[in-house]
């Protein structure tokens, strides 16, 4: 649980840094960000409860999209050490999520095999 909390704090720091770079210039961006995060949160709660592997997959897709967005930012705006660090962090987290999905799939496979015996 502590790992998920640390990840949330980390994502908040990323968001704050992008806002400091002008990412919150338009009210519609701020509005969507504040409200979509609530939808994303509750979708993930339900997914983790019902389909843990899908929840990890959703989080993985979000991390890959974020990494792609940071890469495009760097391409457009030039080098920024903080953005490079955030990009690497997103890629590392995506890798962790892939491992969690594989672990979850292996556990599901073991349970299914045991039930069939």
* Mean pLDDT of all residues belonging to the chain: 80
b/e per residue, 3-15, with b = 16+ CB within 10 A? eeeeeeeebeebe
111 confidence band (pLDDT: 50, 70, 90): very low
Query: How far, in Å, CA of 96 to CA of 90, rounded?
Result: 10
Global pTM? 0.73
Report the pLDDT value the prediction gives residue 112, as an integer from 0 to 100: 47
Query: How far, in Å, CA of 87 to CA of 94, rounded?
Result: 11
Hunting for tokens 């983790």 — which residue is that? 48
Helix (H, G, I), strand (E, B) or coil at 51: coil
Query: How far, in Å, CA of 86 to CA of 13, rounded?
Result: 10
Residue 8 has pLDDT above 80, yes or no: no
Task: Give the pLDDT mean for 57-80.
Answer: 90
Reported as a single tens digit per residue, the pLDDT across 86-106 is 899 889 988 988 888 887 666
Query: Between the CA of residue 99 and those of 60, 62, 84, what are the distances in Å?
Result: 10, 16, 23
Name the residue range of residue 87's domain: 2-116
Domain count, the chain: 1
Residue 108 has pLDDT above 70, yes or no: no
Dihedral angle, C-alpha 76, 32, 38, 92, nearest 10 °: 0
């Amino acid at each position: 649980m502590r790992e998920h909390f640390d990840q949330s704090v980390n994502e908040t720091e990323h968001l704050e840094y992008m806002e400091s770079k002008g990412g919150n210039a338009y009210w519609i961006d701020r509005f969507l960000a504040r409200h979509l995060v609530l939808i994303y949160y509750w979708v993930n709660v339900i997914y983790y409860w019902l389909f843990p592997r899908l929840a990890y997959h959703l989080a993985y897709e979000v991390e890959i999209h974020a990494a792609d967005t940071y890469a495009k930012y760097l391409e457009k705006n030039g080098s920024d050490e903080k953005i490079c660090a955030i990009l690497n962090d997103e890629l590392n987290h995506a890798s962790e999520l892939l491992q969690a999905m594989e672990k979850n799939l292996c556990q599901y496979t073991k349970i299914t095999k045991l039930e069939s015996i």
